[in-house]
Chain A
Amino acid sequence: MVETTLKIKNKSGLHLRPAAEFVKKANEFQANITLERGGKVVNGKSIIHVQALGVRQGMTINLRAVGVDAEDAVAALSELVNNKFGEE
């Protein structure tokens, strides 16, 4: 398992477009990807789940990936989050 903690810096949080970007990126990998916030764990490849997590600006989430390409998945998703999904 590869795990990292990410701080959400973009303005709208993991909401609508950023959530969609996250899920689309996550689906490029074979690994099982989960997000955890406040004890709740959701499937990082499901837009329903990622939306429901209600992640807003300033919150931290734990990103976990299990599988052959787990390392690449975490790297790519971390980059997406840290680059604020291309938001200003």
Chain B
Amino acid sequence: MVGVVIVSHSLKAAEGIKEIAQQMGRDVPVAAVGGTADGQIGTDPLAIKEAIEGVMGSDGVLLLVDLGSAVLNTQLAVEMLEDEGQDQVVLSNAPILEGAVVAVVESAMGHNLEQVKKAAEEAIHMEKLL
């Protein structure tokens, strides 16, 4: 199964999103990471790297981020991974909560990293009010 990492400026937000997403599939490896090393609002590349390594399996990992520096720090975290790990990790343009929900469902269905990424990114067009 594809692993999912949720990166937010706030650890509480990341954990809350993880909690919601895991309703969709308990077996999918999901990690929540957020906040700076001293617990402030922000992101920490080293913590993100550890979170990726924590859910990394043979099917790879999809990364979901909130805003701005979370993107930069997540890219940095990917570059800090071992070379063979980098190809297995993909940063997604998906909205963080909707994307996480979709990604967990897709991963639970056994879809591959590319399929999970594509489905999660389609959540951008998600109509909340039909």
Contact = CB atoms under 8 A, between A and B. Distances in A.
Contacts of A16: 20, 23-24, 101
A52 B24 contact: no
Contact of B126 (A17, A19, A48): A48
A48 B119 CA distance: 9
Interface string A47-64: 110011110000000000
B122 A17 contact: no
Interface residues of B, number: 21
Interface residues of A, number: 16
Contacts of A19: 24
Main secondary structure of the interface of B (DSSP, over half): helix
B130 A47 contact: no
Contacts of B20: 16
A52 B127 contact: yes
A48 B123 contact: yes
A17 B27 CA distance: 13
Interface stretch (A3-11, A20-28, A65-73, A74-82): A20-28
Given A24-B25, A40-B130, 12 more contacts: A16-B24, A17-B24, A20-B105, A23-B105, A24-B108, A46-B122, A47-B24, A47-B102, A47-B106, A48-B123, A51-B101, A52-B127
The 10 lowest CB-CB distance pairs between A and B, nearest first, are A20-B24, A47-B105, A16-B23, A17-B23, A48-B126, A20-B105, A40-B130, A52-B130, A27-B109, A52-B127
Interface of A: 16-17, 19-20, 23-24, 27, 40, 42, 46-48, 51-54
